[in-house]
């Protein structure tokens, strides 16, 4: 094999290995693999129809102007929980990890479905928002916008 052919094939092999390593880590850059309900905040409240939970117990909401989603889950006892999908380690956006919870693509922190840390480097649980039901709508109290 000639020197030029060796260098060319070596470079191609390095590029393929590098792409194989980094492509799975770029999931945070791809479009969301889940649907997001976009809505406004009115008087520090978000209102979403309870009918959204007819097909799935977990819904994702993004207030207009926010970078982070809110995961809203209907529990077996017909209560609801709302979690801000912002990593408590360095404020990166979290993505759903199937039915296992949420993960951070930046440093690998993982949270369970109720927002508790399963794997660091994050040490604090996810921020939770108070929820209530009014007129067939779930109301999420938003005390302040995230960073």
Indicate the domain borders of the chain: 1-30, 31-141
**Which of 7-16, 74-83, 111-120 bottoms out in mean pLDDT, i.e. has the lowest?**
7-16
| DSSP E strand boundaries for the chain | 36-39, 45-49, 58-63, 70-74, 80-84, 94-96, 102-104, 110-111, 117-119, 128-129, 131-134, 137-141
Q: What pLDDT does residue 55 have?
A: 87
Q: What pLDDT does residue 70 have?
A: 95
| DSSP E strand boundaries for 23-116 | 36-39, 45-49, 58-63, 70-74, 80-84, 94-96, 102-104, 110-111
Q: What pLDDT does residue 3 have?
A: 74
Asked whether the predicted pLDDT for residue 133 surpasses 90, the reply is yes
Alpha-carbon distance of 47 to 120, in angstroms, equals: 33
* Token duo for residue 59: 């819904």
Each residue of 7-46: pLDDT tens digit? 766 665 555 555 444 444 444 444 456 789 999 999 999 9
The CATH H-level superfamily of 31-141 is Rieske [2Fe-2S] iron-sulphur domain (2.102.10.10)
Place of tokens 């529990």: 75
């Amino acid at each position: 094999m000639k020197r030029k052919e060796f260098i060319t094939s070596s470079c191609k092999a390095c590029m393929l290995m590098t792409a194989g390593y980094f492509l799975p880590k770029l999931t945070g850059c791809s479009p969301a693999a889940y649907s997001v309900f976009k809505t406004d905040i009115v008087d520090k409240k978000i209102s979403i129809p309870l009918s959204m939970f007819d097909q799935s117990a977990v819904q994702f909401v993004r207030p207009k102007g926010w970078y982070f989603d809110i995961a809203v889950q209907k529990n077996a006892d017909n209560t609801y929980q709302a979690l801000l999908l912002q990593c408590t380690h360095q404020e990166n956006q979290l993505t759903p990890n199937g039915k296992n919870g949420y993960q951070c693509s930046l440093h690998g922190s993982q949270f369970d479905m109720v927002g508790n840390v399963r794997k660091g480097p994050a040490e604090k649980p996810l921020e939770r928002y108070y929820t209530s039901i009014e007129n067939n709508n779930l109301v999420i109290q938003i005390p302040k916008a995230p960073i």
